[in-house]
A = this chain, B = another copy of it.
Amino acid sequence: MEEAIRETCLRARAAARRLAVVPADRKNAWLRRVAKALGDSKGVILGASSADVDAAKKSGLSDALIDRLALDEKRIDAIAKGVLEIAEAKDPIGELIEKTVRPNGLAVRRVRVPLGVIAMVYEARPNVTVEAAALAVKAGNAVILRGGSDAQRTNDALLAILARTLEAEQLPREAVQGLPHPSRDAIRVLVRQEGLIDLAIPRGGEALVRFVAEHARVPVVQHFKGVCHMFVDEGTDLDMAVRIVTNAKLSRPAVCNALECLLVHEKEAERLLPPIVRALETGGCTIRRDEAAWGVEFLDKILAVRIVSGLDEAIAHVARYGSGHTEAILTPNAQNAARWRNEVDCACVVVNASTRFHDGGELGLGAEIGIATSRLHWRGPMGLESLTTMKWIVDGEGQIRS
């Protein structure tokens, strides 16, 4: 197994070297071909998907997980549409980050180049297979994909389409490969391939992310849990508070940017809290006011609520219990908003809006490969730019260093 994984990585490395110098129009032609092939191959994909769903039902997977796993025609169309959007997006490779001319006449540029080989380890949703491949290749990278075992047949069908279309466009078919073994052990071997893998991205449940982080010898950008807070400050408009809190909690409780803990200014507990709680309970939400609920990612219709003495206590609570994902304040007070933006340390701070906006599409990035809660390299929604690195280019006319 180790040998097979190493071979996969070596092929990816060679493909990455070739892809790094492929111009945008050829990568975009591939993406358009992928979109078309997805439409043309619906029968095969749906067949694989229903086989996966049947097996999942037999093995007793929950309905929620089966729903994430299953593809239908509409979902395939949505994946194809996403790929076309990536084709339309600006190619980040070659982009000039900075240019200066030194006193000795040297022209110094910093430009964007591909990262190299990316290992993507993820769970249930098979759409990630296509999205991750499309984003990685558009940014000039090779990618090794290891999806959830429940989606194995669907992922294999999608990987076959991706490889076939790469070949048809005379791009290296090893630019997108599946991990040759499905076991956890294989993941461990994969994320220890120093020098062959440039970045590992685990995306999924906390156990998976921790497993990769613990065993990796290659750099990891983590997608950890979202224990997102919202502080409702003194003087917040009641209607706005009800509207935003219910949206943040209930519009999609199972995702990482959903609200998990509401902090309410003590002076407003009487005016604001009862109608907020009423609206949440009407939406089927359970309120938990005990300390044990702090810092928990429920991913469900459950919300922790705490009364705080004011902004300082809210900031301290978030520093202690937050997960560095998304932290919001609702306030009419510009000074308090400024302190929140400045003093709360997380990937995305939000003022007077729903936590649910922390998302690549909503923030204007287009497709994303996930939301990074790491601090190094990238933080927040990972679009094309996050899959690049830089190179310095120095152009001279015979200069030497004195």
With both chains docked as a complex, state the minimum distance between the C-beta of A377 and any C-beta of chain B, in angstroms.
4
Asked whether, in the complex, the Cβ of A363 is within 8 Å of the Cβ of B377, the reply is: no
Q: Let me know if A395 is at the binding interface, CB within 8 A.
A: yes
* Nearest B residue (CB) for A111: B341
Q: Let me know if A247 is at the binding interface, CB within 8 A.
A: yes
With both chains docked as a complex, state the minimum distance between the C-beta of A241 and any C-beta of chain B, in angstroms.
9
Q: Let me know if A350 is at the binding interface, CB within 8 A.
A: yes
With both chains docked as a complex, state the minimum distance between the C-beta of A384 and any C-beta of chain B, in angstroms.
13
Majority SS at the chain A contact face: mixed
Which residues does A use to contact B, with CB under 8 Å? Answer: 17, 20-21, 100, 102, 106, 108, 110, 113, 115-116, 194, 198-199, 213-214, 217, 219-221, 237, 240, 243-244, 247-248, 251, 319, 337, 341-343, 345-354, 356-359, 362-364, 374-381, 389-401
Q: A362-B401, A401-B247 are in contact. Are A376 and B389 (CB under 8 A)?
A: yes
List chain B residues, Cβ under 8 A from A20: 343, 345
C-alpha spacing A345/B17, complex, angstroms: 9
Asked whether, in the complex, the Cβ of A349 is within 8 Å of the Cβ of B399, the reply is: no
| Partner pick for A348 among B237, B359, B392, CB 8 A cutoff | B392
> How many copies of the polypeptide does the oligomer hold?
2
| Partner pick for A377 among B113, B341, B358, B376, CB 8 A cutoff | B376
| Partner pick for A363 among B102, B349, B363, CB 8 A cutoff | B102
Asked whether, in the complex, the Cβ of A17 is within 8 Å of the Cβ of B376, the reply is: no
| Partner pick for A350 among B17, B102, B363, B396, CB 8 A cutoff | B396
Asked whether, in the complex, the Cβ of A380 is within 8 Å of the Cβ of B376, the reply is: no
* Nearest B residue (CB) for A401: B356
C-alpha spacing A113/B220, complex, angstroms: 20
Asked whether, in the complex, the Cβ of B243 is within 8 Å of the Cβ of A350, the reply is: no
Which one of A221, A319, A392 has the greatest number of beta carbons of chain B within 10 Å? A392
Supplied contacts A21-B343, A378-B390, 10 more A-B pairs, CB within 8 Å: A106-B353, A106-B362, A116-B375, A199-B376, A341-B393, A354-B396, A356-B400, A362-B401, A376-B376, A381-B392
With both chains docked as a complex, state the minimum distance between the C-beta of A270 and any C-beta of chain B, in angstroms.
22
C-alpha spacing A378/B219, complex, angstroms: 12
Asked whether, in the complex, the Cβ of B400 is within 8 Å of the Cβ of A380, the reply is: no
Asked whether, in the complex, the Cβ of A394 is within 8 Å of the Cβ of B343, the reply is: no
With both chains docked as a complex, state the minimum distance between the C-beta of A279 and any C-beta of chain B, in angstroms.
12
Asked whether, in the complex, the Cβ of B394 is within 8 Å of the Cβ of A364, the reply is: no
Q: A376-B199, A401-B362 are in contact. Are A391 and B353 (CB under 8 A)?
A: no
Asked whether, in the complex, the Cβ of A345 is within 8 Å of the Cβ of B376, the reply is: no
List chain B residues, Cβ under 8 A from A374: 219
List chain B residues, Cβ under 8 A from A381: 392
C-alpha spacing A219/B342, complex, angstroms: 25
List chain B residues, Cβ under 8 A from A391: 345-349, 379-380
